Structures are given as structure tokens and as C-alpha cells.
Chains A and B, each alone.
Chain A
Amino acid sequence: MIATPPPSTGPIAPPPEIRDTSLNWIKKNLLTPWYNALITLAIAGLAGLVLNNFLRWAINLDGDPNKAQWNVIPANLAIFAVGRYPDEQYWRLWIALGIVAILAGLSWGVVARSVKLFSRNVLIGLAIAACICFLIPVPISPWRLLSVTMLGLVAGSAWLGQQLGRKVPQLGQYTSFAWLGSFLIYLWLLGGNLGLEPVRTGEWGGIMLTVFLAIISILLCFPIGVTMALGRQSELPVVRWFSVAYIEVIRGIPLIAILFMGQVIVPLFLPEGMRPDRVLRAVVGLTLFSSAYLAENVRGGLQSIPRGQEEAAQALGLNAPLTVSLVVLPQALKAVIPAIVGQFISLFQDTTLLSIVGLEELLGMSRSILANPNFIGRYAEVYLFVGVLYWFFCYAMSSGSRYVEKRLNTEHR
């Protein structure tokens, strides 16, 4: 099957592209040699068959019970988004989303301060997003307006961020602190207390809980993971053994067993009367799990730093902690940004496992919807919808990280 070597990625410039007519293109890419024509035919036939059957099932205008019944999605849109969060407190979530939108716009503007902000592709994307927001089949019309407003906030603050970023180039650092600081505000808005009506974590759910769990776990696992990575690379045998034992034991056990441990065994290890709530126990499990994997990623970064860096720092008179924190770690972490983003994406996907231990995050919520007698048997519709949502989030994260990486990585070239 392999007829040509992979394209070279070396410094040699590729030969000038020869413009092809579309007929030639088809002939070259689909029909020659003869077995390619057969493969093309087979794939096209199979894809056509699958697509045909899928469309016949998915497009259901006459209410045929054997075909897809999509009404389960719009009827439960709010539940998919925020679970059983009380209706009258939705305004708090909108404010939280608004802060996220403003911060996201600001960061985008600051990162892209040296390029044209609203290029054609971005404008098209925004227009499509606005159309989707406007066409969402929600029963309550203020929602549509609010979601379009959120888009407006992103665009507006992106412009503001670009203007500010050009004047104050250090703004980039402040935006990351703003993200961290805003987290406390979200916690307060979501959970209540301190003047707001408290909402129990049992009422959190849907996409909101998924995103919350993923973000808080990655934040918490970061210090543990970096410590463990440093410990594993340490020349002190006892510290190294402890770190190796932690990392290897956690990595050898399935996540579901660790979550089970978090739900059942962690309360047994705590003093009398202390019984943290379910979401917190889930966070403990996820954090334990992902810190071991993060430690391995960071170790990869540490190993990629040449020994000369450490020796040079020592020659300058820096002691061990300063060598690590000022010289080794910044370079090591920068080298593993793609791996860390990849891990964040898999952590985002791993939050689905919490549906097995009874939390109603996005997948758990859709399972409860499927258990509702009105929507029984609508598995394919709900799972396809949820799958598209997860796909969208993960794809956005990976392409976003590629974009930021390209923008930040200006010095190597």
C-alpha cells in the first residue's frame, strides 16, 4: 500500500506546485493505478450506503416512530447545559459566562495583537456562531439574545484587548492572573453563600459540571504533578522512590477504580464527621489520577533540557531551588505545552467516567434524560448530540492550542 515516502519536513523548499485541472486531479488522486479506482469505488459505495441510510433515519418529517425523533434535544437543552440548576438562579450562570466571554476576548486580542483581528475566516466563524445562537430551538427567547450578546462581548473585548495589548505589551501576564482570580468569582456565583442563595452541588450538572470538573482538576493536579516530576528526577533516593511509587501505582490502575476509591475509600480515611460532598470527592479522584500523568509529561520536558543549563546556573551561583525554578522548570514546561494540552483534552473526556459513580455531568445527565419515560429508547439521537458536543469542545481546544503555540513560539526559527 505504501507507494510513496512521506513528505519531507526538512528545510528544503517544496517544488513549485503545478496547477491541475480538476479532471486531472481526480485521475491522479482517485483512479490511477487500477487498484486505486477499485478502492475509490468501494469506499464511495460504502460511504454512500451509510450516508443514505443515516439521512433516511435522521430526516424524519412525518413523525415515523422508527426514525429519529429529535424533539428530545430541544426539550432538554437547558438540562444538557446546566443540569438541575434552579431556573430562578440562571442569571448567575449568565454573569459567569459573561465574565468568561470578556476574559476570552481580552486574551484573544492580546495574543493576536500583531495581526489583523477580524480576518475573513474569523468573521465567517462569528457569523455562523451568531446564526447558531439565534436558531437554537430554546423555548425562552431571552436566551437567544443573551447568547448573541455573549458573542458580542467576545468580539468587543477582543478589539479592546488588541488596543490595550499594543499599548501595554505586558498585559498578557495579567490576563492569566485574571483567569485565576475569576475562578473564585465563578465558585461564588455557582455555589452561592456570601449573600447569594446557596445551590447544592447535587444540583450542578450538564456541560457546566463537566467544564468545572475538568478545569478545577487540571489546576489542582498541576502543583502535585510538577512536584512528582521533580521528585522522580531528584538525586535523593528516598524522594525518588516515593515519587516513582506514586506515579507508577496511579498509572497502573484504571481511572474508574480510582474514582471508586475517591467515592468509597477516601471518606474512610478522613476524621470522624468529615464527609466531603460528591463533587469534591470526584475532584480528589480526578486530581490524583491526572497528576501522575502530568508528572510523566513534565518529566519528558525535564529530560529534554540539556545538562549544561543546570551546570551553567550552578556556575552562576544559583542554589538548587533557584536553578530549578528559574532555569530548568520554565524551559521544561514550555517544551511540554502540547502534551499538557493533550492531557487536558483527555481529562475533559475522562470526566464522563463520573457518570458511573453517579455524578450528572454531561454524559450522566444524558443518561438520566434517557431514563425519562418520555424519551425512552432515544439512545442514538442523544448520544450523537452529546458526541458532537464533546467533539466540538475537544477539537476547539486542540486547534486553539495549535494557534496559541504558533503565536507564542516566535523565538525558535
Chain B
Amino acid sequence: MTFNQEHSIPFWRDDRFWKIALQVIAVVVVAAFASLLLYNLNINMQRAGLKFGFDFLDNQASFDILDSVAPYSAIDETYKSVFPYSPTDNYARVLQAGLVNSLLIMVSGIILTTIVGIIIGVFQFSDNWLLRKGSELYIEVVRNTPLLLQLFFWYSAVFSQLPRPKERLDFFGALYLSKRGIFMPWPATNPLLWFSLGLIIVGVAGGIWLWFWRTNLIVEKGQSGQTQLWGLWAIALTLIVVILFGLGWAFPHELTLDPSQFDARDTERFAACVAETYQVENLSNPTSEANLALYSKCLWTGNFEYGLRLSLEFAALLVGLVIYTAAFIAEIVRAGIQSVAQGQWEAARALGLHSDSTMRLVVFPQALRVIIPPLNSQYQNLAKNSSLGAAIAYAELYNVANTTYNQSGRPIDVMLIIALTYLSINMVISLTMNAFNRAVQLKER
């Protein structure tokens, strides 16, 4: 192609011209559209008397939100939210409380749904017909009904129908369910707790390192790895002992019902309750028969101390999200395992690996490559779907932000806060999972 011929092409048929022109057109169109919208926004906001800016975050919020996860605090003698908030705090504080509630749901939801999803996914390869069909039925039912409907069902038809505190359900004295919430065991705050937690982290990290070292020894050097196996067992045993006894588990303790077992503190509390409920200042003999009948309201059936209190909203949202997302994860796990060619199983058997080593060393690492990318988007879905907690009165970020908008009349600012927060949460999930993905991808040359 000579210089002359190149110039004889009219510019509208020149690829290079269009490449630049199209980009200019795209910029102009987007800029014009954006400035039109901003112009309208400016006019509309001026007329409605709305302002833009984040100074409103310092104003008093004056609305209350329900506690979600509240461990028992021995100092305050009550269940205290993990992120204390009172209506006198400002909007920034209430939005932070909403964020904490959202993160609580996301983290516990992702952990639980992974466990449940993998189990259900593996069930689909079981020899047991009932187990296989049961898990298929579960997946079909859950995936074909809307999440919001499932959340309403869990909240209104299951958790809100729990009995009144007086008839609370009791599971082995460790777990109590009633309208007042769910009471479960939880490590009590003590100086040993931090030491034990540190020990657990060190133990887990050491165990993982030992595990990889052992696999490496077996695969690369053909050693038996027996010594390392003993090390792993020792670490596991130590961890179990530390978890059971080092954390200082406190079981929810139902306040005593029998006046003959009242100690001094119980009597004092009983008197205080009576004084508050019946406006009686002086109670001569609070535990006499007649008084007890009269003051039956102050017998603390279904009232607890110690342990951890979960609100019904938290429980319903967690159960709903975990059950919904687990169905999708189960399908991902199934597809991942099925993607490993039959020959890989047979080759592993031919090498003399038995079934758990086949799974661990041959099939699972290959399945993981197929599993992780869709798992990433499921985790992000769970994080985004946690905003549906707003529909069942769970005080998560969207819910709190919506109330903030209604009170402060700052639609744009609140929307920006919501969008940026969820975008950054999803980015953190995505970056973590991508790093994990790179670690397990096939390394070629």
C-alpha cells in the first residue's frame, strides 16, 4: 500500500478515523447526558430545599435500632450489643451500627453457607438413594422460590411463632428459643480468653503449615509422613482442649424460678422488679407465698443471664440466607466435582491411592479451579442479599440508611453511602477470592 492510495480513502471509510470519532462521540454523549441530569438535579434540589453534603452525619439520629447479636456483659448485668448504640448518638454512629450488623450477617452467613453447601453438594454423589434425592429436592425447591418470600416465611411463619418466654423451648439446657430471642453458649470475657484465642490462631496456622509440609513430603520425596501425622494429631487434640476449656464457655443460665433458691442478688432483683412493675416502694417479705402469687410477673421464666442472645430477626435472616445460598453452592460443588474427568479417578486408583487420598490429592484440587470463580459471585450475592434484612426489620446497613434518609431528607448523600459501602465490601470479597483463585489455578510452566 503506497502513501497515495492510503490518502485516497475518504475519511468516513477509514477505520482509524472511526476509532477516534466513536470514542469522542461516547464521551460527548455521556458528558451531555450527565450534565443534563446534574442540571435537573440541581434545579430540583433547590426547589425542594434539599442540600448536599455529609455534615448531617453529626446530627442526632434519635431513632432506636434493635440489638442483633448481644453477648452477656457481666459488668452491666445485661445483654449488650456488640456495637452499643443509643438514640442520642449521631447518624454516623447509627450507620456504623448498621454496617456492623450487616458484616455480622455476611461473615457468619458466608461461613455457614459454605459448610452447608459443600455438604449438600457432596450428598448428591452419595450411594444412598434417599440422601441423593433429598438433596435434589431441597435444591429444586429453594432455587425456584424467591429469597424474599423465604425470608418472610422464616421470619413471620417460623421465628415469630416461637412460644412466649414462659413456654420457651429448651435444648439440653444449652440453647433456649422464645419470642425474646435465641440464647446460646458463648465464651465469657476473661483474661484467659485472649491467651486462648492467640493459642488457637497459632495452632491453626501451625497445623496448616504442617499439613502442606506433609503433603509435600509424601508427593515429592515419597516419605510416609507418619511423624508429621502424629504432630497434626497432637495439634488437633490441643486445639480441642483449648476450645473446650480455655475459652470459658458460659451457658445461658435461666434465672431461678424457685424462691427457696433465691440468693441475696435474686431477692434484690426481685424487689427491684416488683417496685418497678407495681410501683411498690417497700417490700417487707418479697418471697412469701402471697406476694409471689401477686408478683408472678416478676418471676423470671424465660429470662437469662450469661451466654449470647441472638435477635429473631438476625436468626431468620441468617437461616434464610444460608439455606438459599447453600442450594446454589451445592450445585457449584456438584458441577465442579463432575468436571473432573473420569480418567483422573481411575488413574488415581491405578496408582494405588485409596478413596480419600484420591479425593484430597487428585479430584478436589482440580474441582476447586472450577468451583472458586462461581463461588466468588455467590459470596457477593449473599453480601448483597443481606440488604433484604430490611424487609424483616433487621437493622442492617440498608435499613438504617433508609430510616436516615426518611428523617434527614438527604437522598443523594445516603444513596452514595449505601452504594460505596456495598461496592467496597464486594471488592474485598472479590479480591480475596481472586487471590485464592490464583493460588489454586493450574500453574503451567
Contact = CB atoms under 8 A, between A and B. Distances in A.
Interface of A: 1-6, 8-10, 29-30, 32, 36, 39-40, 43-44, 47, 235-239, 242, 249, 251-257, 260-261, 264-265, 267-272, 320, 345, 349-350, 352-353, 355-356, 363, 367, 370, 379-380, 383-384, 386-387, 390-391, 394-395, 398
Contact of B423 (A9, A252, A379): A252
Contacts of A8: 342
Given A252-B380, A254-B385, 20 more contacts: A6-B337, A6-B338, A8-B342, A44-B130, A235-B19, A236-B19, A238-B23, A251-B426, A252-B426, A253-B419, A265-B412, A269-B44, A271-B40, A272-B44, A272-B47, A349-B145, A370-B156, A383-B149, A387-B153, A390-B145
B237 interface: no
Contact of B387 (A44, A257, A272): A257
Q: Identify the interface centre among B130, B380, B391: most chain A CB within 10 Å of its CB.
A: B130
Contact of A353 (B27, B148, B338, B402): B148
B123 interface: yes
B65 interface: no
Nearest to B411: A264
Contacts of A271: 40
Nearest to B153: A383
Interface in B412-445: 412, 415, 418-419, 422-423, 426-427
B391 A356 contact: yes
Given A5-B345, A39-B130, A257 B149 contact: no
Contacts of B131: 39, 43
Nearest to B126: A1
Given A43-B134, A253-B419, A269-B37, A387 B427 contact: no
B227 interface: no
A202 to B, nearest CB: 21
Given A2-B122, A249-B419, A252-B427, A269 B146 contact: no
B171 interface: no
Nearest to A356: B391
Given A252-B423, A254-B384, A265 B146 contact: no
A383 B412 CA distance: 35
B347 to A, nearest CB: 11
A238 B26 contact: yes
A387 to B, nearest CB: 5
Contact of A2 (B125, B128, B129, B384): B125
B76 interface: no
3 A-B pairs with least C-beta separation? A29-B129, A349-B146, A394-B144
Given A253-B423, A256-B398, A349-B146, A356 B342 contact: no
A268 B157 contact: no
A44 B354 CA distance: 31
Given A6-B338, A36-B128, A254-B384, A398 B144 contact: yes
Contact of A379 (B157, B388, B427): B157
B127 A383 contact: no
Contacts of B426: 251-252
Contacts of A383: 149, 152-153, 156-157
B201 to A, nearest CB: 30
A22 B426 CA distance: 51
29 contacts: A2-B126, A2-B337, A3-B355, A5-B345, A30-B129, A32-B127, A44-B130, A235-B19, A251-B426, A253-B422, A255-B384, A257-B419, A260-B415, A264-B411, A268-B40, A350-B146, A353-B148, A353-B388, A356-B148, A356-B391, A363-B152, A379-B152, A379-B161, A387-B153, A390-B145, A390-B146, A391-B145, A394-B143, A395-B140
Contacts of A269: 37, 40-41, 44
Contacts of A256: 387-388, 390, 398
Interface residues of B, number: 68
Contacts of B134: 43, 47
A252 B23 contact: no
Contacts of B359: 2
Contacts of A270: 40, 44
Chain B at the A interface: mostly helix, strand, loop or mixed?
A: helix
B355 A2 contact: yes
A261 B401 CA distance: 13
A10 B385 contact: no
A39 B157 CA distance: 29
B43 A386 contact: no
Contacts of B390: 256, 356
B128 A39 contact: yes
A353 B143 CA distance: 16
A282 to B, nearest CB: 15
B217 interface: no
Contacts of B345: 5
Given A29-B129, A254-B422, A269-B41, A1 B415 contact: no
B257 interface: no
A207 to B, nearest CB: 13
A348 to B, nearest CB: 8
A391 B138 CA distance: 12
A5 B341 CA distance: 9
B148 A1 contact: no
B405 interface: yes
Contact of A352 (B27, B141, B143, B149): B149
Nearest to B119: A1
Given A249-B419, A252-B426, A239 B22 contact: yes
A399 to B, nearest CB: 10
B151 to A, nearest CB: 10
A261 B30 contact: no
Contacts of A4: 125, 127
A342 B415 CA distance: 29
A271 B40 CA distance: 5
Contacts of A36: 127-128
Nearest to A41: B130
Nearest to A248: B423
B128 A265 contact: no
Given A10-B342, A253-B384, A239 B26 contact: yes
Interface in B18-58: 18-19, 22-23, 26-27, 30, 37, 40-41, 43-45, 47
B103 interface: no
Contact of A272 (B43, B127, B342): B43
Given A1-B125, A356-B390, A383-B153, A30 B422 contact: no
A392 to B, nearest CB: 8
A5 B342 contact: yes
A67 to B, nearest CB: 13
B147 interface: yes
B321 to A, nearest CB: 12
B26 A242 contact: yes
B145 A394 contact: yes
A352 B127 contact: no
Contacts of B27: 238
A30 B128 contact: yes
Interface in B339-396: 342, 345-346, 355, 359, 363, 380, 384-385, 387-388, 390-391
B411 A363 contact: no
A257 B415 contact: yes
Q: Identify the interface centre among B22, B47, B149, B337: most chain A CB within 10 Å of its CB.
A: B149
A257 B153 contact: no
A342 to B, nearest CB: 10
Contacts of A9: 338
Q: Identify the interface centre among A39, A272, A352: most chain B CB within 10 Å of its CB.
A: A352
B412 to A, nearest CB: 7
Nearest to A239: B26
